[in-house]
Amino acid sequence: MDEQQPKTGKFALNYGLLMGLISLVFGVMLYTQKMHYETSTAVIVISIVILAAIIFLAINAFKKANGGYLTIAEALKVAVGVALVGAIISLVYQFVLTNFIEPDFMDKAMEIAKPKAMAQNPNMTEEQWEQGVEMQKSFAWIQYPVLLIMNCVLGLILGLISGLILKKSKAEY
């Protein structure tokens, strides 16, 4: 009798939804603490650690459901799927935050960044700063596909690492 092999998509979707929910809670937490303007190293590291943990759990759950066997390709499929679904949910939250909850998000973020930018480039005039801000606003949409691609690449890397750790091939005979 042939065993039914589990689908990687099911695990990617379930754990991706979990990843998205955790990202959403983390984003709301940052918003309530007024830390959502910052792109500090600590916030980035925490986000990557959360993603790595969820991906590892998803790959491990797939391995258990697959009779204890796992290939690198399956690990990569699960990991990229988790990263993709989680990123989509996170980007939808970011879109809602910056366009509906806090429509002046970009203006406030630029005001926070202004002193640092002026200190790094003392020759910059106020007019040059305003031109730069307007250009950034017109290209703000580009952050969504870039973050989606970056998250998938990060998922690929984390999936490869997790896959190499958890890999177990079926016997050839």
Helix (H, G, I), strand (E, B) or coil at 168: strand
CB neighbour list of residue 91: distance below 8 Å, 6 or more residues apart:
144, 147, 148
What tens digit of pLDDT does each residue of 48-80 get?
999 999 999 999 999 999 999 999 999 999 999
With a cut of 70, say whether residue 173 has pLDDT above it: no
16: enclosing H helix or E strand: helix 8-32
Q: What is the DSSP string of 62-126?
A: HHHHTTT-B-HHHHHHHHHHHHHHHHHHHHHHHHHIIIII-TTHHHHHHHHHHHHHHHH-TT--H
CA distance linking residue 161 with residue 155, whole number of Å: 10
Q: Contacts from 99-108 at CB under 8 Å and sequence distance 24+? A: 101/31, 105/37, 106/136, 106/137, 106/140, 108/37
Mean pLDDT of the 162-168 span: 95
CA distance linking residue 13 with residue 130, whole number of Å: 42
Q: What is the largest CA-CA distance in the chain?
A: 75
Locate the domains of the chain by residue range. Answer: 8-102+146-166
What tens digit of pLDDT does each residue of 116-146 get?
888 888 888 888 888 888 888 888 899 999 9
